[in-house]
Structure 1
Amino acid sequence: NKSLKNSKPLSPSSASLEMANNTVATAEKSPVELLQETKASVKAIVARMLSIKQQGNPKSENRELLTQMFLNFINLRQANRAILIEEEKLKTETELAKSPVDFTTLELHNLMYEKSHYLKANKASRDFKSRYPNIDLISEQDFFNEAPEAIKSQTLSNDTSHDLMLKRLNFELHQRKELCKLRERLEQHKKSLLESNAERNKFLSSLPVHLKTLKKASLPVQSQLSLPNPKKLKYHNLAELLPPPLYVIYSQFMARKEAFEENIELEVSGSLKDAQTYAREQAEQNSESLRLEDNGEDGDGTRQRKRFKKEGSDEGGLYQIHPLRVVLHVNDIEIPDPKSHRPVVLKFEYLLKLNVVCVGIEESQDELEKNILCNLFPEDTGLEPPHQSAKLILGDDHLFDESRTSRPYKWAQHLAGIEILPEMSPFFTEKDTQDSDTAKDYASASDHRNVQTVLQRIRSQKKAKLTLV
């Protein structure tokens, strides 16, 4: 400032020279330095002009100051232009450098995201409670004893326990593969056995025909050697499972046939399996009853409970029949050939609940022969129960079910050995005896027990029916 105050006014030539010098000096300086110097020079010129104005100095000096001011303005514009050019250059360089930086930043973010993902996965893997420590593997002792050397010598992991577990798993896999091979061999063997069984079954299915032919061819030999009839032996074996009443009937008719060569045929039909089951149950109940009788008073309550259980399990009801029955074929004496005329076929059944024997004609018989048994003996229609216990069980009506083909005739009870007490004492006066139906039944009981009389009456009834027709 002092130099400005003491300086003298410059001539135009000197001003031009100074301007040129300033331009050269400006070109050597940076835009920022030039801006700072120009700013300081402008402030000094403005301060000088204010000082001249305040002191009242001649205004000729202002012209020189204005020239310097204009020079400074030129320098300002030059510095401004240089700064703008440098700014544009920096912007361009920044834009060029921004793209790699953005790409690098994006890669960094991706890497950071992958890092966080891997850290989470690693943490989840570490926190995961695996089941493999509790896997039911083969014991280590069995593994070392049974595993092949090829599996035991492998190294599958650096961790000893994990390596042992993997070896045990491989050994189990080896065992399963061996079992699969064994299964295939067994399947093939099974297939061959099935084919062999099919061939044998085919042979066995044709065997009954051959046996039947052989049996038929052996009949003359059996008759010559007086061998027992196989069918007769079969019926005798089945008769052992008959209830006592049916067994008495079977034995009486069989004795009649063998003793007098009666023209009758006897069969025992029914389910052998059910009969064996029933006989086994009866034996168990009898043994249980004997055991309970030995136990005293405690056995009485148990026996009563057993009795109630038996009554509650009576699925067949009042008319439950025994699994086996006796079938009697009654042939006509006057016709020696049974094939020339159909015999009367009687079916004897035993009702377990009522303790009675029922007789009926086979369903295959004609309608004419179905009424032969009705009133075979006087006033014996088979609709009235034969004894008092059956009447009490049947109830107030005292009538037998008419829809059943078999009926409890009194003569059948006598043949079966079932003792029937009369409702009134037989020791009455002569007049009372003549009027008493019960006494008549008692008097004819001997005829009922006679097998010959029963057979004669059946044949007579059949002959009478045929004569009426």
Structure 2
Amino acid sequence: MVGETKKRSKNASTSSSTPQTPVKLIKEEVFSNAIEFEEKEESKFNRDQFKTCFTELNKLIQEVSDLKSKNTEEAKKKIVEKRIQGSLIIVKLKKLNRLDKIRLANRRELLAKEKLNVDSNRLKLQNLIYEADHLKKEINKCISFKSEDEDIKLVSMEEFLKIAPEESRTPEILEDKHALRMARLEFELQQRKEYAKQCKELEKEKEEVAEKIVALKDNLDSLLPNLQNVCKATRPIQKILNMPFEIEWEIQKIVRLLPQPLYMAYTKLLAYSEVIDNNLSVSVDGNEDEALQLENERKQGKDEKELDENEDSENEAEENDFEESDNRRKVQRRQSRIESQNQKRQKLFAHHPLSVQFQLKSKKRKETLSVTLNYLPDMSIVTVQGKFNLDNAQSVAAGDIMTPDRILSGLYEGDYGMESPSPHTSYQLQNVQLNPKDLSKLLDEKMLGKPYKWAQRLCGISVTSKLNIDESFKLCDETVPQLIRQMHKRVSARMKLYHQIQSLEIGKITISGNVRISSILQQFVSLSFAEYSVIPCTKRFIESEIVGANDLFYRAVVTRGSAKLECYIAVRDNFPIFALQLSYDNKYNAENSSHIREIEGFVNGIKCDSVDNVLSLQLQRAMTSLDIFLETESFQHQDGEFHQEKNFSCSFRGRGRSRPYQPKVVGCTTSFKHIGY
């Protein structure tokens, strides 16, 4: 200790004896030195040092806690040492924290510098891309550049070599493409100048001709009033001579607007009426203005077709746009489709504004059958509307006989106008979402009539093949006489049948011969096909297709005492067919009784070639046959209900026990014999 004090004193004396000059540092130098030192230390900084310091500090705290629990002097001394060590560790942590802050600031500065560098490079890249795009556009412009002379249509090279002047087609020019192009352009310019000069001359000539035409047209316009005055002045002479030229001119003016099928029918029917049938008259009805407008549209058909094709392409493009659009546009497209579908249907059923009407007057009576022919251009078929004028039409049962559909249907075998005669019609209807089976119903709704096959032949339309004009006129020539005769025959037969049914409906029957009929016609009414088809005795006629749904059906009830004979009548092709059913103790018909079968054959076997009252005669046969059957049956069973009032020698004959239904007139009396004897 003494030595140490001596040393200290020596040091103190030496230090005091040798005066030291203090070093003065500037604040900026101190700060810069500190920064340099911190940066050097920061380069040595490691984050693991934080972890080491914290571990040591936790260990010291734990040791201090253990020493405090001992509470000894030695422990207190160690606690003081441990505090000093902990303070040094905390100082070291502060230093590490400061170094971490400096390190973070340095890294941020470096990041900012890198960002600036990246941004500058990005701007340079964008500038280069923009310049490249600009250069590409310029290159494309240069590539796609077209000179104005490229749109000029020049003469072909062969023609140029033939007609061009010699100086324009020298070998030097032909070898140089540019010189050749210039020579061809120069040659084209000279030619066009010549053509322009010729065009001017032709325009002058055209103007002169137009002036002449205007002068001639003025003369014609001034001529029309003079002709009209002449026509007015000659009208009294026309009436006296019965030569209505003006009326015929007006008719011919309308007739020229008729479509070809109706024009053929009109000309042939008119010729037939003037030469052969005076009871036939022909006329043209309809709107002349609409027909004239339609004729003008037909002349411009080619332009309209091109417009239609453009519209179709536009519609297809619109539909494609609609498919890619939202729900609102889909709804609009659906509505436009519905509207276009309705327009197609209306166009399909649109008929020509003009129609041909011919009237058939009855030869003996005042009845008139009017037939109107309508033409449907899109379907290429002719439809028929009928009207029958009948005086004093009061009968109920006979009312259906004289309807136009009943008269015009079935003029030819199987021709009832229920189907289209053209095979194309079914596909046309399917194209507009319509059922071909509903054609007759659709035509009736639009009041167009029925498409009979005879109407197509009358208008020169062939169902199987397309005919030229000469063949169409030939077909029309062959059809008109036969059709008019058939119509006269049908009207005459139906009028006879009408008057017969009218009499039978009130119970009045015409009896031929001196025959007394004991049975009574109780009822005579009309039936529908559905009512007729459910009767047992009529099924064999329906199954064998002797009768069909288009025939006329009636029911006559004949009674005598307790017996009742029901006659179910089907009128087909103007001939009545009887189906009988007898109610007498039981129900009998041709299926279960040979006697009824014999009566039915006798009634239906009547000859009708020259007889006007076939139905009345058939009903008379049925009534007399019923009387004979009941009288012979009562005589056989001796029941006394029916007494013999007819003259017959033998009641039964043969193994079939046939009865004498055949009348035989002897003088003023009528007797009955067996059929075939």
TM-score tier after normalising by the smaller chain length: 0.3 to 0.5
Relative to the length of structure 2, the TM-score reads 0.29
Larger strand percent: 2
Larger helix percent: 1
Greater Rg over alpha carbons, structure: 1
- Which structure carries more relative contact order (alpha carbon 8 Å, separation 6+)? 1
